[in-house]
Amino acid sequence: MSVKVEDKLFLDRFNVDEESHLHLLEPDVCFKRCDDQPCLYICPANVYKLDKDRISINYEGCLECGSCRVGCPNFNIEWRFPRGGYGIRHKFG
Amino acid sequence: MDETFDVAIVGAGPAGISAACVLADRGVKTIVLERGEYPGSKNMFGGVLYGHALEQIIPDYVQRNCPIERNIVESRLSYLSQDAGLSFTYRDRAFFEQRRNNAFTVGRARFDRWFADQAASKGALIVCATVVTDLLKNEGGKVIGVRTDRADGDLIAKVVLLADGVNSPLALKTGFRPETKPENVALAVKEVLAIPEEIINERFGVSPGDGVTNEILGDVTLGMNGVAFLYTNRNSLSIGIGANLADFARRKIRPYEMLESLKAHPMIAPLIKDGKPKEYMAHWLPEGGYNTVPQLCGNGYLIAGDSAMLFNALHREGSNLAMASGKLAGETIIEALGKNDFSSQGLQGYVRRLNESYVLRDLKKYRRFPSFLETHKELFAGLPLAVNMAAREMLTVDGVPKRMRQRAIWKAIRSKIPPLRLLQLAWDAWRSVR
């Protein structure tokens, strides 16, 4: 089934910070020591995308669940909450 | 901030606000730090709150205009295969009247805000848009306050209550809870679909103000240990699906694709027809149960709610456990203030109270349930198809004698799950919940 998560994220309200709250600790690790790259699948907002030779992070749509942090087999994701007041803002919740 | 407080609470959710209400009621100087722009702006759950738990904190919550969406009068449990499904439904007059608001739906953006307003009116200070990034400790290792992401961000308190939810980088950083293991949480996604109030009333056969919950199990989680739900709000439906995070990672399944498949299922599609998507969210459920509950208090701190992994997966109870644990934390802190003892020793009353209450008694009773689900994947693949196939065959009228039908059904079930394994499953299921 083809479904675009962008259409879903479009429904949400975000107060986007200028800086990302998500970082890869060692970008090399994702290619040298990670065959499965689960971040590309488990993230409910599809924040992690595979570019040619790197994984890009579209932190703007992060739903702040934490799955990438604990799902990364190499613990290669530095994860903090967006600064106070930034990030997703639930309308209904 | 130069001001010092008796109590600093991290997180303005059901656990933190319950504690704040109990403390502020007794005149305890309390501050609640919330990272969202307003309480509830970061919070979400399936959608069901429990009147009993709320009543313990705000006895007149109905009169105080608690933003209730619908009072639950009917609970459904559906077991779905790819193309079929069977449902059990329970509706009771008691839930219309004497036991009204036993369970009701809310949206957390509105409810948490309302709840925090109640605490504020009792005298608690609620500070939003503030992330607690670390805990302050003295040389002896006792927690003496919190560090926030504000410029003048350190804040001194006699005791700190961690009520910052299941995803807690703070608990990890301070070592008060080990980092979450993917197998101990479920990742759930939820969508809110707008549908006019009258259409919901008609579709679910309820009067204005009353509603239905539908828990959904089976093939919809594609063989992963998981569950889905469909809840009625006043003029919207909440539909969601979740599964064990380790299963997601292993299977490389995208959560939102699973949600779309659920929405297209023949049992679900007519219920959500013409629903206009309004919001999409994701959150963890602390499904690990009793064995994953961390140390509940220490020198200068306590942990409550989801942050303490207090969640009853079998009965989909979490918000009530958060409120109850928050209340008990508040009562323990009042006791500690009386003795002026905020050491681990002085706060042990919290553990005793939780052990005596339904919170830990229920989690203890079901402590084997999480691993039962993890080790009996037939429940989510195989069995749903077998059960639904049996129903289909017994309901098909085409001149085939029933005995032959039964034989065919048994043969098909045996080919999917050996009879001994089926017996084992039933035995293990009983053992995990007895």
In this structure, the strands spanning B143-148 and B154-162 are: antiparallel
pLDDT value of position A26: 96
Using CA atoms, how far apart are residues B29 and B35, in angstroms rounded to an integer?
A: 20
| pLDDT per position as a tens digit, B8-52 | 999 999 999 999 999 999 999 999 999 999 999 999 999 999 999
Nearest to A9 among B148, B149, B280 (CB): B280
The pLDDT of B187-192, averaged and rounded, is 98
Among A15, A75, A92, pick the best mutation site for testing chain B contact (most B Cβ within 10 A).
Answer: A92
Helix B319-339 and helix B349-356, axial crossing angle in degrees, nearest 10: 140
End-to-end CA distance of chain B: 51
CB–CB contact A90 B44 (8 Å)? yes
| pLDDT per position as a tens digit, A49-83 | 999 889 999 999 999 999 999 999 999 999 999 99
Q: In chain B, pLDDT over 90 holds for what percent of residues? A: 95
Q: Please report residues of B whose CB lies closer than 8 A to that of A83.
A: 131, 149
B 253-272 → A contacts, CB under 8 A? 253-257, 260-261, 264
Nearest to A90 among B42, B150, B180 (CB): B42
* pLDDT of residue B143 exceeding 70: yes
ipTM: 0.97
* pLDDT of residue B188 exceeding 70: yes
| pLDDT per position as a tens digit, B278-309 | 999 999 999 999 999 999 999 999 999 999 99
Name all domains of chain B by residue range, CATH numbers in brackets: 4-69+106-179+290-366 (3.50.50.60), 186-285 (3.30.9.90), 370-433 (no CATH)
Contact B282, B188 (CB under 8 A): yes
Q: In chain B, pLDDT over 70 holds for what percent of residues? A: 100
Among B281, B287, B319, pick the best mutation site for testing chain A contact (most A Cβ within 10 A).
Answer: B281
Report the length, in residues, of chain B: 434
CB–CB contact A11 B108 (8 Å)? no
Q: What is the mean pLDDT of chain B?
A: 96
Q: Which residue of B has its CA nearest to A38?
A: B249
Q: Which two tokens stand for residue B264?
A: 């297209």
State the CATH class of domain A5-10+21-81. alpha beta
The pLDDT of B85-92, averaged and rounded, is 97
* pLDDT of residue B211 exceeding 70: yes
Q: Three-state DSSP class for A10?
A: coil
> For residue B171, what pLDDT band results from cuts at 50, 70 and 90?
confident
The pLDDT of A1-20, averaged and rounded, is 93
pLDDT value of position B172: 84
pLDDT value of position A2: 76
Q: Please report residues of A whose CB lies closer than 8 A to that of B182.
A: 67, 70-71
CA distance B97 to chain A (A): 27
* pLDDT of residue B123 exceeding 80: yes
pLDDT value of position B416: 86
Q: CB contacts < 8 Å between A and B, how many?
A: 141
| Whole-Å CA distances, B95 to B44, B52, B76, B92, B236 | 25, 13, 14, 6, 21
Residues belonging to chain A with any Cβ–Cβ distance to chain B shorter than 8 Å:
1, 3, 5, 8-9, 11-12, 15, 36, 38, 41-42, 44-46, 63-67, 69-71, 73, 79-85, 87-93
B 85-144 → A contacts, CB under 8 A? 107-112, 128-131, 133
* pLDDT of residue B144 exceeding 80: yes
Using CA atoms, how far apart are residues B322 and B283, in angstroms rounded to an integer?
A: 16
Plot region of B165 (φ>0 → left; ψ -120 to 50 → alpha; else → beta): left
| pLDDT per position as a tens digit, B315-364 | 999 999 999 999 999 999 999 999 999 999 999 999 999 999 999 999 99
Q: Which residues pair with B213 in a beta bridge?
A: B75, B231
CA distance A17 to chain B (A): 13
Q: What is the mean pLDDT of chain A?
A: 95
Report the length, in residues, of chain A: 93
pLDDT value of position B1: 58
Q: Which residues pair with B4 in a beta bridge?
A: B156
- Tell me which of B1 and B75 has the higher pLDDT: B75
The pLDDT of B238-256, averaged and rounded, is 97
Among B1, B38, B42, B257, pick the best mutation site for testing chain A contact (most A Cβ within 10 A).
Answer: B42
In this structure, the strands spanning B125-127 and B30-33 are: parallel
